[in-house]
C-alpha cells in the first residue's frame, strides 16, 4: 500500500485500531506544523520553585486521593497534610470532602469505636466528666457557628527568605457551619475550681517521639479569661454532616476567629490547668513575634531581641478565585470577578479590587452574610479594555478598620500572611 491510496478504512484495520488503541501509534508526528501545537499545552507544575516565592495560588504538590475526600493537593503523606484547590472557594461553604487537612503527628485515627470513645473533662474541676458522643448531642444545648478554619501557615510558600515547614499555597483554609455544644456549657457542668488559668485540649493523635516531647502529643491551651471562650464550640457536625475522620471525627474544637492550631481534632481531653501550658506546641511552635503584624527580619531574630507570643486571631484576608489566569480572556468580554474575604477581628465591611495593579480601586458587591466569622463572598463586574496583561488585585477591610497591606511580612514560623493578592490575566483579541 502506498501513501496516496485507500481513502476508506478497511474493516481489518478498524479492528486492529480498536483492539490496540490509537495512543501508541504516534500519529502526532504526521505533520510538522501540526505537531508544534499538538503536544499537551498543559504541563505539570514544577514541584520546586527555586529560591523565589511560590508564584501559584495553591501549593505545587500532586493531587492525591484520601478516604472521604475529593482529590486534594499533597503537602505531606505521613502525617497527612492536604491543601484545598482554589476552585472550591467559589462558594461560601467549603465542602467537607474538599476541606484541607493538617495533622502534626503520624499516628492519626483510621477507625474510632464510639462505644469506647469518650470526651474527658478533667483537671482542676469539681466534677470531672466522661461524656459519650450521645451525651454531647443529648445533654447539652445545641449551638452552631459558621467559621473560617485557617492554618497558621497558610501561604507559607510566599515567605522570603523561605521558611521550613509545610509549603502551603493559599488553600489551607475552609469555611463550614459547625454544630455542637458550647465549651462553656461543658465546663460549667464540670465546675471549674478557683485558681484555674487555662483550658488545655488534646486529641487522639500521637507521635513516635519521647513521651515528654511535642513529637509525642499535640496539645493547645486557651486562657480561661479569653473572651473568645464564650464562643468556642465542641462540634460534632460540619456543614450538616459528621466530620470526616481527617477533619477530626467525632468532635473537634472550634475557636472562631482564631487560627486552626487551636481547633483540636478528635478532641478527647479537656483539662483545666492552673499553670501556663509550656508544651512545645504552645511556646516553641505557633508563636509569632510580638511586633505589629507579627513582622520581623531574620537578622533581628538572630540577635534574639524579639519576644515571641502564641499566635491568636486571624488578620483580614481576601482572595480572587475567578478568573484564575488559566484561560485567556477575549477583549471586551463582560466578566464577573469572584472571591472571598474574611477576618478574625470581625465582619468584612468592604472588598475592593483593582485592575491596574493597585493604583485605582473599585468596590465589589458583598455576598450574603453568614456571620462575622464566616467567609464573605464578593463579586464585581469587570470588562477588560485592552489586550495583553492585566494585574488584578483585591483587598478587604473589616469592621474594626483593619485592611490588607501591600508589603509582605516575615517571621520565623511563616505565619499571618495577609498581603494583598495579585492575579495576572491575559486578554486576547476578540475580533
Partner 1 sequence: MKMAKIRCILISLFVIMPGKTPLAQNELPGLTQSGQYQQGILGSISQPGPIRYSPDTIYLVGTYPLNTPELIRGEGLEITQTYCRFCHSTTYISMQPQLSASAWHTIVDKMIHTHGAPIPEEEAKQIIAYLQAQYAQKDHK
Q: What is the DSSP letter of 327?
A: S
Q: Taking CB under 8 A as the criterion, which residues in 79-98 touch partner 1?
A: 79-80
Q: Taking CB under 8 A as the criterion, which residues in 10-69 touch partner 1?
A: 13, 16-17, 22-28, 30-31, 34, 37-40, 42-44, 47-51, 54, 61-69
CA atoms within 13 A on the CB side of 349: 9
Residue count, binding to ligand HEC (CB under 6 A): 7
Q: Taking CB under 8 A as the criterion, which residues in 352-391 touch partner 1?
A: none
Q: Taking CB under 6 A as the criterion, which residues in 308-367 touch ligand HEC?
A: none
Closest residue by Cα to residue 176 from 320, 395, 371, 417: 371
From the CB of 283, what's the least distance to ligand HEC, in Å? 15
Nearer residue to ligand HEC within complex by CB, 207 or 257: 207
User: Could you give phi then psi for residue 390, rounded to 5 degrees?
Assistant: -120, 145
Nearer residue to ligand HEC within complex by CB, 207 or 256: 207
Question: What is the Cα–Cα distance from 384 to 172, expressed in whole angstroms?
Answer: 31
Q: Taking CB under 6 A as the criterion, which residues in 86-115 touch ligand HEC?
A: 104
Q: Does 156 engage in binding with ligand HEC (CB under 6 A)?
A: no
From the CB of 251, what's the least distance to ligand HEC, in Å? 22
Strands of the sheet with 348-354, listed across from one edge: 329-330, 421-428, 388-398, 348-354, 362-363
Question: What is the Cα–Cα distance from 74 to 82, expressed in whole angstroms?
Answer: 5
User: Could you give phi then psi for residue 387, rounded to 5 degrees?
Assistant: -80, 170
3-state secondary structure of 89: helix
Answer for the pair 171, 201: CB distance below 8 angstroms, yes or no: no
From the CB of 32, what's the least distance to partner 1, in Å? 12
* String marking each residue 270-289 x if it binds partner 1 according to CB under 8 A: ----------x---x-----
Q: Which residues pair with 297 in a beta bridge?
A: none
Q: Give the burial string for 204-236 (b: 16+ CB within 10 Å, else e).
A: bbbbeeeeeebbebbbbbbeeeeebbebbbbbb
Residue 225's binding partner among partner 1, ligand HEC, none (Cβ under 5 to 8 angstroms by kind) is none
Among 21, 26, 164, 292, binds ligand HEC (CB under 6 A): 164
Among 128, 209, 298, 428, binds ligand HEC (CB under 6 A): 209
C-alpha cell belonging to residue 242: 459528621
Among the listed ranges 142-150, 202-210, 332-340, 364-372, the one in contact with ligand HEC (CB under 6 A) is 202-210
Q: Does 77 engage in binding with ligand HEC (CB under 6 A)?
A: no
Among the listed ranges 77-85, 185-193, 316-324, 366-374, the one in contact with partner 1 (CB under 8 A) is 77-85
Residue 24's binding partner among partner 1, ligand HEC, none (Cβ under 5 to 8 angstroms by kind) is partner 1
Instruction: Classify burial at 49, counting beta carbons within 10 Å of its beta carbon; exposed 0-12, middle 13-18, buried 19 or more.
Output: middle
Among the listed ranges 125-133, 203-211, 384-392, 401-409, the one in contact with ligand HEC (CB under 6 A) is 203-211
Instruction: Classify burial at 242, counting beta carbons within 10 Å of its beta carbon; exposed 0-12, middle 13-18, buried 19 or more.
Output: middle
Among 250, 289, 367, 384, binds partner 1 (CB under 8 A): 250
Question: What is the Cα–Cα distance from 8 to 53, expressed in whole angstroms?
Answer: 55
Q: For binding to ligand HEC (CB under 6 A), which residues are involved?
A: 104, 164-165, 207-209, 215
Amino acid at each position: 500500500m502506498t501513501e496516496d491510496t485507500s481513502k476508506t478504512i478497511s474493516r481489518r484495520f478498524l479492528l486492529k485500531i480498536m483492539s490496540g488503541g490509537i495512543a501508541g501509534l504516534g500519529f502526532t508526528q504526521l505533520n510538522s506544523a501540526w505537531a508544534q501545537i499538538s503536544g499537551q499545552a498543559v504541563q505539570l507544575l514544577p514541584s520546586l520553585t527555586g529560591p523565589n516565592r511560590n508564584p501559584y495560588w495553591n501549593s505545587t504538590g500532586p493531587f492525591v486521593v484520601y478516604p472521604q475526600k475529593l482529590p486534594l493537593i499533597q503537602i505531606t503523606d505521613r502525617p497527612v497534610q492536604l491543601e484545598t484547590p482554589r476552585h472550591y472557594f467559589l462558594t461560601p461553604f467549603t465542602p467537607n470532602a474538599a476541606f484541607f487537612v493538617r495533622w502534626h503527628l503520624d499516628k492519626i485515627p483510621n477507625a474510632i469505636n464510639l462505644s469506647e470513645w469518650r470526651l474527658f473533662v478533667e483537671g482542676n474541676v469539681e466534677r470531672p466528666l466522661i461524656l459519650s458522643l450521645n451525651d454531647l448531642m443529648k445533654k447539652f444545648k445545641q449551638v452552631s457557628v459558621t467559621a473560617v478554619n485557617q492554618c497558621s501557615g497558610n501561604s507559607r510558600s510566599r515567605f522570603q527568605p523561605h521558611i521550613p515547614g509545610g509549603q502551603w499555597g493559599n488553600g489551607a483554609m475552609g469555611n463550614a457551619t459547625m454544630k455542637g455544644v458550647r465549651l462553656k456549657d461543658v465546663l460549667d457542668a464540670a465546675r471549674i475550681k478557683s485558681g484555674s488559668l487555662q483550658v488545655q485540649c488534646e486529641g487522639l493523635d500521637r507521635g513516635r517521639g519521647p513521651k515528654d516531647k511535642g513529637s509525642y502529643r499535640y496539645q493547645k491551651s486557651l486562657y480561661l479569661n479569653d473572651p473568645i471562650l464564650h464562643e468556642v464550640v465542641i462540634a460534632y457536625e460540619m456543614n450538616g454532616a459528621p466530620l470526616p475522620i481527617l477533619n477530626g471525627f467525632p468532635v473537634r474544637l472550634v475557636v472562631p476567629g482564631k487560627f486552626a492550631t487551636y481547633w483540636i481534632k478528635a478532641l478527647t481531653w479537656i483539662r483545666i490547668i492552673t499553670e501556663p501550658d509550656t508544651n512545645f506546641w504552645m511556646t516553641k511552635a505557633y508563636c509569632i513575634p510580638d511586633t505589629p503584624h507579627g513582622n520581623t527580619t531574620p537578622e533581628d531574630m538572630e540577635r534574639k531581641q524579639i519576644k515571641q507570643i502564641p499566635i491568636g486571631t486571624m488578620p483580614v484576608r481576601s482572595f480572587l478565585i475567578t478568573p484564575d489566569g488559566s484561560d485567556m480572556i477575549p477583549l471586551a468580554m463582560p466578566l464577573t470577578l469572584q472571591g472571598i474575604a474574611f477576618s478574625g477581628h470581625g465582619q468584612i465591611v468592604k472588598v475592593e479590587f483593582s485592575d491596574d495593579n493597585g493604583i485605582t480601586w473599585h468596590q465589589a458587591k458583598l455576598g450574603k452574610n453568614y456571620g462575622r466569622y464566616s467567609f464573605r463572598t464578593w463579586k464585581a463586574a469587570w470588562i477588560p479594555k485592552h489586550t495583553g496583561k492585566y494585574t488584578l488585585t483585591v483587598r478587604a477591610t473589616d469592621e474594626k478598620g483593619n485592611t490588607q497591606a501591600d508589603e509582605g511580612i516575615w517571621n520565623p514560623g511563616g505565619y499571618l500572611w495577609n498581603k494583598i493578592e495579585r492575579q495576572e490575566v491575559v486578554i486576547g483579541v476578540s475580533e
